[in-house]
Structure 1
Amino acid sequence: MVLREPKAEDGPAISALIAASPPLDGNSAYCNLLQCSDFAGTCVVAEREGRLLGWISAYRPPSRPDCIFVWQVAVAAEARGEGLGGRMLDALIARSASRGARELTTTITEANSASWALFSAFARRHGAVLTRSTRFERDAHFAGANDTEWQASISPLPFIPSN
């Protein structure tokens, strides 16, 4: 398995992986292309024998440069159970684009047990603490159309020295 930065040509395969990974929200193809180009340093693709099997989209929020926000994690059905999600998260925080980040955040619905397990295991593996708080509420932010999104905050992240 090769973990690498995405490139724009990965866009269609990423869109297909997201579509095959409910409950992830589908992004526009253009959004995926921007993530693969403008945010490549904080995104990860996992590839085996030329087949894209994993994807993490993430970014450094402009108002919180000490943070990495993980937007989506997708693992193809054929690669589930291999610990790929955790390996991609580890690769993300080891990147130069992640240097200086002290916290990783994401949002997860209450019912998404796979994501809670992934991020809880990541926190344990790195000796960090996972806290949760409401980020976007079902009625106030989604007009009842989406479950409440809970923010999972993990800190402190491991110190990655500058080269």
Structure 2
Amino acid sequence: MSSAPGPTDTGTGFVLAEPTLRDGPDLWRMARESEVLDVNSPYSYTLWCRDFAATSIVAREGDRPRGFVTGYVRPDAPGTLFVWQVAVDPERRGLGLARRMLDGLAERLVPRGVHAMEATVTASNTASAALFGSFARDHGAELVRIPLFGPELLDGHEAEALFRISPLGTT
């Protein structure tokens, strides 16, 4: 996945674009401030911005990232985008930014052969369940929920269900 597309102006004061190396610290900060995401090291977010920029997206307000979606195309399922994390700055929540980013990512990746989106969601994360549910509905896709990782695999962390949305690109 190469040839980075130009930024997309959402008409809302936010511009959607691929993340850059300079965005790594802001992604880490937003993950930490989310209070629901498992926070990785600052290094890992910067590395993600290098290695998975083509399958991730940031929402910028001016020069500052205000939200992000990190994802990757699964090596054993090249038509499937796995969404790793979604976060929005606390002071920018409630504006539909997470959904705009998912839509922008799908718009960018469907023409490149992505036809399905996956993410894992805990039972207590009702905001993510609602986000992926509305995304599937509005894209005319089916959302299938499958138990994936139990707490015994996650060192006591809450179980994660796989949300699989497909097909994409049919509407």
Same fold per superposition (TM over 0.5):
yes
Tell me whether 1:152 sits opposite 2:163 in the alignment. Answer: yes
Tell me whether 1:142 sits opposite 2:158 in the alignment. Answer: no
Query: Residues of 2 paired with 1:94 and 1:52: CA distance?
Result: 20
Residues 59, 68 of structure 1: 8 Å contact kept: yes
Residues 74, 82 of structure 2: 8 Å contact kept: yes
Residues 42, 97 of structure 1: 8 Å contact kept: no
Q: CA deviation at 1:96?
A: 4.6
Task: Write out aligned runs for 1:19-58 (5 A).
Answer: 19-58=32-71
Q: CA deviation at 1:37?
A: 0.8
**Superposition TM-score, scaled by structure 1 size:** 0.92
The equivalent residue for 2:15 is 2
1:5-61: CA deviation from partner (whole Å, max 9, x where unpaired)? 000111111111110002101111221112101110011111112222101000001
Which aligned runs of 4 or more in structure 1 are off by greater than 4 angstroms? Answer: none
Q: CA deviation at 1:92?
A: 0.6
Query: Residues of 2 paired with 1:97 and 1:151: CA distance?
Result: 20
The equivalent residue for 2:125 is 112
Q: Which runs of 5+ in 1 are unaligned?
A: none
RMSD across aligned positions (CA) = 1.5
The equivalent residue for 2:139 is 126
The equivalent residue for 2:113 is 100
Q: How many residues of Structure 1 are paired with residues of Structure 2 in the alignment?
A: 158
SS of corresponding position for 1:123: helix
Residues 108, 115 of structure 1: 8 Å contact kept: yes
Residues 135, 150 of structure 1: 8 Å contact kept: yes
**Superposition TM-score, scaled by structure 2 size:** 0.88
Query: Residues of 1 paired with 2:123 and 2:58: CA distance?
Result: 26
Q: Percent identity?
A: 43
Query: Residues of 1 paired with 2:25 and 2:154: CA distance?
Result: 28
Amino acid in the other structure paired with 2:154: F
